Structure 1
């Protein structure tokens, strides 16, 4: 059957459907209702509450009238049953709708009812005409309401017509089932054809709920199967280097040179890494930990395992400022071990760059720290054994794949200081093994957070001055205004001038994105060495700055920041033994969402709890950036609301992949037909296709 075989399908309607992404019968079947009208109970008018409840009301038309003029023109149709009257109101399309009605006709109105004074009314009700009272029984059903748009409305392709088409399709077509029989039985899912019937022609609320569960499961199952396949191919094809020796580098560092005791979380993560690099297959592990939890020391442990086994290590960061920070940290930590560490970033002189590349290819360089400059074509390694990727969510999935081409299946360690909620980790990082570092290193005190209005600036500055006198240092951060670096800079510059006057007894510095790299570095070095006590900055210090002496973070216009961003900023302080304070300063008008974010920051220091709240506020696409993250845009599934279905789909998909990776068994034949093109598309994205 083809679209053109459907009744009342004009050329204009075919074009409108195509503009709505519907070019085939299957596309139309996959055009799901956005909601349903439950007509199974017809309400008496005097029984209505009028607080927005969705109802079905049947009555005879008593009056049809158009009121108002111009833009305020509206159509009112008053119906009456044996208990009272109700008004249907149309603010648009009144001229067309008026022609549909005649006085004394028996009609049914469906919609959300409101009460204004003594009068009940429904705005833009769905309606049906009834021949006589005996036909009311035909109304007692669940009616799907389909999404609409300008193209569909223009051609009068409404829910009623789409519903008729779905009836015709389901009478003549039977879409093949591709989910394995064992999966359908285990999870009590309706078969595909029945699920389409239940979603488009439901006889009860439970039917369309079952159908939606089926299609959500299906989407998540295919995605998880693609992740399982990706991981299977890595394990199958990529025999990892075996780091059998824990030699001089590793033992000397942890036994003689590490200036503090490892936390239980750090020890557990290092144990996971040790197991991975001795397994004979390529390590793909994510180290997740809150800001300041000590992930870098864990990464150093992995790097030293590579060096002990005559391999090189690469450490990739998303920005130059963060790459430079890691370069300094690694150089400081590994100074006693006589290790050759090089920094490779974009703005280096040609002679220096040539020297680094020669050093890398010749094997003289043990560790290279850098930005995406590391994965450029002309960069070659002598023997790359480990790639560490920091702040993974800031890189595209392809970039992660590209560094794998730089060696013979190097082990991969991914780090994230942005806590990823469990629901996202289950999808986005299903191909990675995950180690979570909980807690903070010893001696760290939780940061105290407070919210203050702008009018309290004077008292806040007095408090800051007291802390500075005690030897502390302060950040004052200004937001990115309207995504404009110029506006951002203007705001921060004005603040810098004001604070320079207020704190005239101290050194005040300015840091922003338009400064040259060497100037930024010089300013940061001054702050690190306490030559600057107050650093006024744009969000450029969100990541990559570690100043243990900094004890105060003032965030101006804090209501403009996202939750995770505020948490990242707060993570810049509290990195030493001094008690630290984060003061979030807000403007006059704060939205409900803004108030929620500020309140959540005061309530908890737990980055994972904050990430969950941020995910709920913004949704997964905005949380990570869908295109960057590799997370697909699901049609019906929601990884926040449908976590239980996600877990079931993941378990089922990974069981199938373990059972038959090639999907050649008879039970998986139909699944293979659907999954092969799906996986081909995903593989391109992952850089494997």
Structure 2
């Protein structure tokens, strides 16, 4: 059967369907209802409360009348069953609707029943005309409501028409099953052709709920199977460099140079890495930890393991500011070990760039730190053994794949200071092993967070003055939104002038996105050196340098910030021994969501809890901030709401891949037909196909 075989399908309607991605009968079957109307219950009119309940009533027409004049003209049709009367009211199109009614006719009205004066009323009810009472059973059904759009409206494609098409298709078509019998039975899923009937022609609410579960499982299963296949093909079969020795660099750094004790989380993550690099297989590990949990020290441990075994290491960051910070941090930590570290970013002069590239290729450079410039074509490594990628979610997925082409399949260590909720980690990082660093390094105190109105500025400044007099430093952050960059810059500049006057005994600095990189660096270095005590800033300090002495942060217009952004900002303080304070200042008008964000920030310092809340508020796409992040766009499944289905699908997919990686068994023949093109598309997206 083809689309053209459906009744009432003309050229304009074919075009409208095509614009919605419907090109075939299977596409139309996969065009699922967005909601359902339950018309299985016919209510006696007298039993209705009139509070707006949605229901079906059946009665004979007692009166048909046009009322009002001009724009206020309306059609009223009064029906009566053996208990009471109800009025159907149409404020538009009454002249045409009137033609379908006649007195004493048996009709069914479906809509929301509300009490107006003497009568219960339904505004613009759906109408079914009935021959006699025996037809009542035929109208008692679950009615699917399909998504609409302008193209559908223009060509008169509505839910009734789509439903009629689905009925016809399901009479003639029976899509083949591709999920193995064992999986269907274990997870109590209906077979495919039955699931389509249950979703388009449901007999009950449980029908369509069970069918949706099946299609969500199917979608998540194919995705997880592709990730399992990718890991099997690219990683499990890939020999990795063997870092057999913990040599002089590693021992000296941890035994003599590191000025603090490792936390339990850091030690555990390093143990995971040590196990990976000694396995003979390529390491692909994510180190996930909250802001300030000490991931950089773990990365340094991995870098030293590579250097001890005669390899080079690369450290990639998403921005030049962050790359420069990591370069300074690594240089400071590794300087006593006589390790050569070079910085490679886009803005460097050609002569310096040539010098750095020569050192990398010749082996004189042990560690290269940089942005995506590290993976550009002209960069050749002497012997790359490890790639560290910071803030992975801010890179495109292809960039993680590209690092594998440098050297001979180096070990990959991915770090994220943005806590990723479990449901996202299961999809975004399914191909990675995960180590989580929880808790703060020894001596650090949790930041205390308070929410205040703008009326409290005087008290806030008095408190800030005490902190500064006691030797602390402060950030004052203003929001920066691209669309209103000039206005926000004006806000920050005005704030800077005001604070210069208020805190005349201290040095006040200003940093914002329109400054040149060298200017920003100079101001940040003055702040680090405590030559500036108050730094007024837009959100460019979100990924700023580490200032252990900074103990107070005031966020102005805090209601404009997202949860994750507020958490990242707060992570700039509390990085030393001092007790630190974050004060979120908001305006008079704060939305319900804004109040929720501010309250959540004051209640917890746990980045994972904040991330879960943020994910629910914003959804996966906005949470990650980029469609290039590698997160698949699911048509039916919702990885937040359907996490339990995701876990079932992942377990089933990875078990099947372990048992039959080539899907060669006879009972996997249909699955292979569906999976091969799906996998080809996914691996192409990851730059592996």
Identify the TM-score tier after normalising by the shorter chain.
Answer: over 0.9
Provide TM-score, normalisation by structure 1.
Answer: 0.97
C-alpha distance in structure 2 between counterparts of 1:411 and 1:75, whole Å:
74
C-alpha distance in structure 2 between counterparts of 1:315 and 1:75, whole Å:
73
Offset at 1:544? 3.3
The 10-residue stretch of structure 1 (643-652 or 108-117) with the greater mean CA deviation from structure 2: 108-117
Q: Tell me what 2:369 maps to.
A: 369
C-alpha distance in structure 2 between counterparts of 1:34 and 1:659, whole Å:
37
CA contact (8 A) 1:215 1:636 kept: yes
Provide TM-score, normalisation by structure 2.
Answer: 0.97
C-alpha distance in structure 1 between counterparts of 2:645 and 2:669, whole Å:
24
Q: Tell me what 2:110 maps to.
A: 110
CA contact (8 A) 1:626 1:632 kept: no
C-alpha distance in structure 2 between counterparts of 1:212 and 1:53, whole Å:
26
Offset at 1:68? 6.6
- The one-character-per-residue Cα deviations of 1:381-400 (angstroms, maximum 9, x if unpaired) are 11110000000110010111
C-alpha distance in structure 1 between counterparts of 2:448 and 2:265, whole Å:
23
CA contact (8 A) 1:480 1:539 kept: yes
Q: Tell me what 1:478 maps to.
A: 478
Measured at CA, do residues 514 and 129 of structure 1 come closer, stay the same or move farther in structure 2, by a change above 3 Å? same
- The one-character-per-residue Cα deviations of 1:100-139 (angstroms, maximum 9, x if unpaired) are 4444432222234444566544444333222222211112
| Residues 1:57 and 2:60 are matched in the alignment | no
C-alpha distance in structure 2 between counterparts of 1:158 and 1:369, whole Å:
57
Q: Tell me what 1:545 maps to.
A: 545
C-alpha distance in structure 2 between counterparts of 1:68 and 1:314, whole Å:
79
| Residues 1:144 and 2:141 are matched in the alignment | no
The 10-residue stretch of structure 1 (622-631 or 28-37) with the greater mean CA deviation from structure 2: 622-631
CA contact (8 A) 1:485 1:513 kept: no
- The one-character-per-residue Cα deviations of 1:477-520 (angstroms, maximum 9, x if unpaired) are 11123534333322211111111111111111011111111111
Q: Tell me what 1:287 maps to.
A: 287
C-alpha distance in structure 2 between counterparts of 1:92 and 1:497, whole Å:
60
Q: Tell me what 2:608 maps to.
A: 608
Aligned length: 688
Q: Tell me what 1:357 maps to.
A: 357
C-alpha distance in structure 2 between counterparts of 1:464 and 1:30, whole Å:
59
Within 5 Å, give how 1:191-202 maps onto structure 2.
191-202=191-202
Measured at CA, do residues 443 and 77 of structure 1 come closer, stay the same or move farther in structure 2, by a change above 3 Å? farther
Within 5 Å, give how 1:260-659 maps onto structure 2.
260-481=260-481, 483-625=483-625, 627-659=627-659
Q: Tell me what 2:221 maps to.
A: 221
C-alpha distance in structure 2 between counterparts of 1:316 and 1:332, whole Å:
18
C-alpha distance in structure 2 between counterparts of 1:445 and 1:622, whole Å:
31
Measured at CA, do residues 194 and 49 of structure 1 come closer, stay the same or move farther in structure 2, by a change above 3 Å? same
C-alpha distance in structure 1 between counterparts of 2:17 and 2:597, whole Å:
41
Measured at CA, do residues 457 and 113 of structure 1 come closer, stay the same or move farther in structure 2, by a change above 3 Å? farther
Offset at 1:15? 2.3
CA contact (8 A) 2:2 2:24 kept: yes
The 10-residue stretch of structure 1 (145-154 or 287-296) with the greater mean CA deviation from structure 2: 145-154
Measured at CA, do residues 529 and 216 of structure 1 come closer, stay the same or move farther in structure 2, by a change above 3 Å? same
Offset at 1:537? 0.5
Q: Does the residue aligned with 2:483 lie in a helix, a strand or coil?
A: coil
C-alpha distance in structure 2 between counterparts of 1:683 and 1:567, whole Å:
34
Measured at CA, do residues 462 and 674 of structure 1 come closer, stay the same or move farther in structure 2, by a change above 3 Å? same
Offset at 1:463? 1.0
Q: Does the residue aligned with 1:474 lie in a helix, a strand or coil?
A: strand
Q: Does the residue aligned with 1:524 lie in a helix, a strand or coil?
A: helix
Q: Tell me what 1:12 maps to.
A: 12
C-alpha distance in structure 2 between counterparts of 1:584 and 1:377, whole Å:
45
CA contact (8 A) 1:67 1:76 kept: no
The 10-residue stretch of structure 1 (7-16 or 61-70) with the greater mean CA deviation from structure 2: 61-70
The 10-residue stretch of structure 1 (90-99 or 226-235) with the greater mean CA deviation from structure 2: 90-99
C-alpha distance in structure 2 between counterparts of 1:32 and 1:91, whole Å:
31
C-alpha distance in structure 1 between counterparts of 2:390 and 2:95, whole Å:
61
Offset at 1:162? 1.4
C-alpha distance in structure 2 between counterparts of 1:638 and 1:91, whole Å:
39
CA contact (8 A) 1:234 1:282 kept: no
CA contact (8 A) 1:551 1:578 kept: yes
Within 5 Å, give how 1:148-227 maps onto structure 2.
148-227=148-227
Offset at 1:326? 0.7
Offset at 1:475? 0.5
C-alpha distance in structure 2 between counterparts of 1:263 and 1:94, whole Å:
75
Q: Mind listing any 5+ residue stretches in structure 2 that lack a counterpart?
A: none
Q: Tell me what 1:27 maps to.
A: 27
C-alpha distance in structure 2 between counterparts of 1:76 and 1:511, whole Å:
67
Offset at 1:67? 5.1
Offset at 1:42? 0.8
Q: Tell me what 1:135 maps to.
A: 135
CA contact (8 A) 2:106 2:132 kept: yes
C-alpha distance in structure 2 between counterparts of 1:486 and 1:642, whole Å:
42
CA contact (8 A) 1:35 1:146 kept: yes
C-alpha distance in structure 2 between counterparts of 1:636 and 1:67, whole Å:
47
- The one-character-per-residue Cα deviations of 1:401-427 (angstroms, maximum 9, x if unpaired) are 111111100000000000000010111
C-alpha distance in structure 2 between counterparts of 1:119 and 1:596, whole Å:
42
C-alpha distance in structure 1 between counterparts of 2:90 and 2:567, whole Å:
48
Measured at CA, do residues 377 and 103 of structure 1 come closer, stay the same or move farther in structure 2, by a change above 3 Å? farther
The 10-residue stretch of structure 1 (183-192 or 77-86) with the greater mean CA deviation from structure 2: 77-86
Measured at CA, do residues 327 and 135 of structure 1 come closer, stay the same or move farther in structure 2, by a change above 3 Å? same
C-alpha distance in structure 2 between counterparts of 1:348 and 1:295, whole Å:
28
Measured at CA, do residues 412 and 119 of structure 1 come closer, stay the same or move farther in structure 2, by a change above 3 Å? farther
C-alpha distance in structure 2 between counterparts of 1:205 and 1:472, whole Å:
61
C-alpha distance in structure 2 between counterparts of 1:68 and 1:674, whole Å:
61
Measured at CA, do residues 175 and 259 of structure 1 come closer, stay the same or move farther in structure 2, by a change above 3 Å? same
Q: Mind listing any 5+ residue stretches in structure 1 that lack a counterpart?
A: none
Measured at CA, do residues 88 and 568 of structure 1 come closer, stay the same or move farther in structure 2, by a change above 3 Å? farther
CA contact (8 A) 2:236 2:282 kept: no
CA contact (8 A) 2:547 2:572 kept: yes
The 10-residue stretch of structure 1 (125-134 or 389-398) with the greater mean CA deviation from structure 2: 125-134
- The one-character-per-residue Cα deviations of 1:148-190 (angstroms, maximum 9, x if unpaired) are 2222222222222211111111111110111111111111111
Cα RMSD over matched residues?
A: 1.7
Measured at CA, do residues 148 and 127 of structure 1 come closer, stay the same or move farther in structure 2, by a change above 3 Å? farther
- The one-character-per-residue Cα deviations of 1:585-631 (angstroms, maximum 9, x if unpaired) are 11111000000000000111100000000000011111114522211
Offset at 1:11? 2.7
Within 5 Å, give how 1:216-255 maps onto structure 2.
216-255=216-255
| Residues 1:667 and 2:667 are matched in the alignment | yes
C-alpha distance in structure 1 between counterparts of 2:399 and 2:82, whole Å:
70
C-alpha distance in structure 1 between counterparts of 2:74 and 2:537, whole Å:
55
Offset at 1:235? 2.5
Offset at 1:233? 1.3
C-alpha distance in structure 1 between counterparts of 2:106 and 2:256, whole Å:
90
- The one-character-per-residue Cα deviations of 1:641-680 (angstroms, maximum 9, x if unpaired) are 1111100000011111111111121111111111111111
CA contact (8 A) 2:508 2:536 kept: yes
CA contact (8 A) 1:64 1:103 kept: no
The 10-residue stretch of structure 1 (522-531 or 115-124) with the greater mean CA deviation from structure 2: 115-124
Within 5 Å, give how 1:119-130 maps onto structure 2.
119-130=119-130
Measured at CA, do residues 52 and 325 of structure 1 come closer, stay the same or move farther in structure 2, by a change above 3 Å? farther
